[in-house]
Amino acid sequence: MKFTSPMSADLDHQITTLAQRARAASLVLATVPTALKDAALQHLAELLTAQAEAILAANGRDLAAARENGLTAAQIDRLTLSPERLQLLAESVRQVTRLPDPVGELLEETTRPNGLVLRRVRVPIGVIGIVYEARPNVTIDCAMLCLKSGNAAILRGGKECFYTNTALATLITQALAKAGLPVDAVQLIPTTDRAALTTLLKLDTLVHCIIPRGGEGLIRFVTQNSTIPVIKHFQGVCFVYVDRAADLAMAEQIIVNAKTSRPGVCNAAEQLLVHREVAAAFLPAAARALIAAAQVELRCDAAAAAMLHAARVRHVAATNADYKTEFLAQILAVRVVDSLETAIATINRDSSGHSEAIVTADAEAARKFQTAVDSAAVLWNASTRFNDGFEFGLGAEIGISTDRLHARGPMGLRELCSYKWLVTGTGQVRN
């Protein structure tokens, strides 16, 4: 399909047609056998290595533009494909073929007093629109997970990755065709014009779910413009709370891991709360360990600052904004709290509801914390970094939902499904 005219009515029509084809494909995909979907994925895995040259050439065009446009080294790294990265991508596709098909799973079965037999079974959602930014692997990730879960996908990637995404979408189309599946089951919107996105977000009779993955600007735009239900994959302002009954050595390992192992991801810790009774014993050593591990900048409240000052450990004063910030960098905001209850209230006020951990040897404190903290994952004596689809055993993830409806936390194949009710009777009518 060519988008030769950028005129708005034309674009509207083209996006609507694309969505209509996705809807038609979704009805086919919803009932095809697992083996066909896995065959398409196997073909895709093969093509990713067999066609590496073409993909890398397209990627080269994006990289040249990226350098011209002055993207940062980190941004360019995220954009870059290589033969090795394509191998890994192909392997991730093969892994999905080994996961169980969620479609058709019987969720519950009951017989009513009037003899009706009710079965609730898992079915695909239908048509899922994925709106994302620069990483090209997201194109393959989303395509493979939507396909395996029986959903048609409409992909809208970022402009920085346009040529790479287009090359990858061509492979996906080839893989679908080779398996005898509708090629409209996965479609890339062939323009990065924002008007196309705005049109897509209003097609609520054809598209059943929008998943935005990206920065705050993108998420806001999608939330404000979509009449289609949205599942947000938003930020993580994650807390670690070191309780007065904490094993302090364990607490130090956990905060170092949660903060420094991968600071750019949503389940990294950004906030440290320490109970006053253990603050003087814990903070100086923990701060030194954070600095030793990754030169972490500690942004402290007055109490924490006083302790680090006394211990001659490098730190700065926090601002109020720091206490609600997702730094995505080697920065940690540090506060001293007077009680478990204050820690819970602070988290429920300032966190983004993603992942929070308590370190304590007191089971009752942990129970209270896990019950009262209103976040997707609440961890006891473990790093926040574990809130992840692979670590949770889902086998794959399309992201980590920060919403409360439908899916909360990691979204795997199961969370890409809805259900329907099948009712079997013998002629029952209702009084």
Give φ, ψ of 24 to 5 degrees.
-60, -45
Using DSSP, state whether 209 is helix, strand or coil.
strand
User: Cβ closer to its own copies: 187 or 402?
Assistant: 402
Judged by CB under 8 A, does residue 324 bind its own copies?
Answer: no
> Which residues face 275 on adjacent strands?
337
For helices 137-148 and 34-50, angle between their N-to-C axes, nearest 10 degrees: 160
Nearest CB to its own copies, comparing residues 169 and 396: 396
CB 309, min distance to its own copies, A? 29
- In the set 223, 299, 321, 362, which binds its own copies (CB under 8 A)? 223
The footprint of its own copies on residues 130-189 (CB under 8 A) is: none
Question: Three-state SS string across 94-114, please?
Answer: HHHHCCCCCCCCEEEEEECCC
Residue 401: CB minimum distance to its own copies, A: 10
Structural tokens at position 398: 């399309």
Cα–Cα–Cα angle for 213, 218, 220, rounded to 5 degrees: 110
* Spatial CB neighbours of 75, under 8 Å, sequence gap ≥ 6: 66, 134, 160
Work out which of 65, 76, 195, 250 binds its own copies, going by CB under 8 A. 250
- Tokens describing residue 144: 């493979």
Minimum CB–partner distance for residue 101 and its own copies (Å):
14
- From candidates 209, 273, 308, 332, binder to its own copies by CB under 8 A: 209
Judged by beta carbon, residue 178 or residue 202, the one nearer its own copies is 202
d(CA 261, CA 288): 16
Q: Give the DSSP letter of residue 232.
A: -
Which residue in 13, 67, 112, 276 binds its own copies (CB under 8 A)?
Answer: 112
Number of residues that bind its own copies (CB under 8 A): 68
Contact 315, 280 (CB under 8 A): no
The distance of closest approach from Cβ of residue 242 to its own copies in the complex, given in angstroms and rounded to an integer, is 13
Q: Would you count residue 419 as binding its own copies (CB under 8 A)?
A: yes
CA 15, 21, 27, 33 dihedral sign is negative
CB closer to its own copies, 256 vs 333: 256
Q: Closest Cα to residue 103, out of 154, 181, 180, 33?
A: 33
Residue 257 in the binding site for its own copies (CB under 8 A): yes
Answer for which of 75, 94, 372, 395 binds its own copies (CB under 8 A) is 372
233: which DSSP letter? B
- The 8-class DSSP code of residue 17 comes to H
Residue 171 or 379 with smaller CB distance to its own copies: 379
Site residues for its own copies, window 383-412 (CB under 8 A)? Answer: 383, 385-387, 391-393, 403-406, 408-409
- Least distance to its own copies, CB of residue 61, Å: 35
Scan residues 27-86 and list those touching its own copies (CB under 8 A): 27, 30-31
**Residue 153 vs 307, nearer CB to its own copies:** 153
φ and ψ at residue 186, rounded to 5 degrees? -135, 120
Which residues touch 64 (CB under 8 Å, ≥6 apart)? none
Q: Phi and psi at residue 341, in whole multiples of 5°? A: -60, -40
Binding site for its own copies (CB under 8 A): 27, 30-31, 110, 112, 116, 118, 123, 125-126, 204, 208-209, 223-224, 227, 229-231, 247, 250, 253-254, 256-258, 261, 348, 366, 370-372, 374-383, 385-387, 391-393, 403-406, 408-409, 418-431
